[in-house]
Amino acid sequence: MSSKSFLFFSYIIILFSFNLNAQEEEEDQIPFDAVIQSEMGGKRVKFYGNTSLNFNQAYFSNWISGGESSLTVLYRLNYNFNYSDRRGLVWDTNVLFSIGTTYISGNKFLKKADDRFEISSLLGKQINQFWSYSSLFNIKTQILPGYRFYFEDGIEAREKVSQFLSPGIIQTGLGWYYKRSADFRLNLSPLSARAIIVSKSFTNDLLENATYFGVDRERSVKYFFGALVSGYYRKQIMKNVTWENIFSIYVNYLEKTKNVDFDWNSNIRFKVNNQISGNFVLHLLYDDDLIGDLQVRELLGLGISIDL
């Protein structure tokens, strides 16, 4: 990509960001997340969420102190469906999709900035105003292939190390669900099954006693049984600044019970106006079967945000 093409592409993104309009009511008349709500014979249905396009850009030309031009684009969709009725049936579903890429001047390949796809669905039967019996289903994976980049004879090369559903993590659980409001919910599943699924194309050529994301040689799945605690917490820190947290903790009853896996995704969203917004994401993940070390992902971006 030439410098002129890079500048033109950056200009198009900025122009798009400032000209995309969303019809919203005055901020003091609706919550931060716009809600479509209907009453149908005792049934209550809500659809709400947020979509955003963020980018970071740097450009250098003949800059004596040095520097590399770069462009990062990140798209995120977080959408919810909530259902309840007079019989005490509760059904909450969340879809999270986030994907991004980074271009660095002089690099042969684009690099990932983010790649996540997750669906969580919970079906419950109310015990009282805040507590319900619950059954949980969750699946998370990536969309695009992941690569390990390296140099060979001075030439940049890459090797595919992951892809869609390799790995894929599926969890189900039975337990109790606590929901005080749309801003806080907690699910306790002392009986939880979990599976890591992969393609055999990654495990067929493994060395003896080696594993691929915890899955043994020539296998495509590994099963777990344990306890799962998961939840969601959102707080408005100040006007137009919202702190959102999605978290889960898993303990395996069958092996390595002292190894507690956890996933904490923290997102601070701030709105400049109805179209322009920014966010700071800190994602901490530890899963002894995926990789025996703490995974950290941090993103800071400015772009457009639309409440749905």
Span 149-169, pLDDT tens digits:
999 998 999 999 999 999 999
Span 44-79, pLDDT tens digits:
888 888 888 888 888 888 888 778 898 888 898 999
Q: What CA–CA distance (Å, rounded) separates 16 from 6?
A: 16
Mention every residue, 6+ apart, whose C-beta is less than 8 A from residue 225: 192, 193, 194, 252, 253, 254
Quick one: pLDDT at residue 56? 80
Quick one: pLDDT at residue 17? 43
Structure tokens at 150: 């390296």
User: Mapping DSSP to helix (H, G, I), strand (E, B) and coil, where does residue 18 land?
Assistant: helix
Quick one: pLDDT at residue 51? 87
Residue 34 lies in domain: 3-307
Closest CA to 126 of 77, 161, 93, 91: 91
Model confidence pTM above 0.85: no
Q: Which residues of the chain have pLDDT under 70?
A: 1-42
Structural domain count, the chain: 1
Structure tokens at 30: 């609706």
Pairing of strands 146-152, 131-141: unpaired
Quick one: pLDDT at residue 41? 53
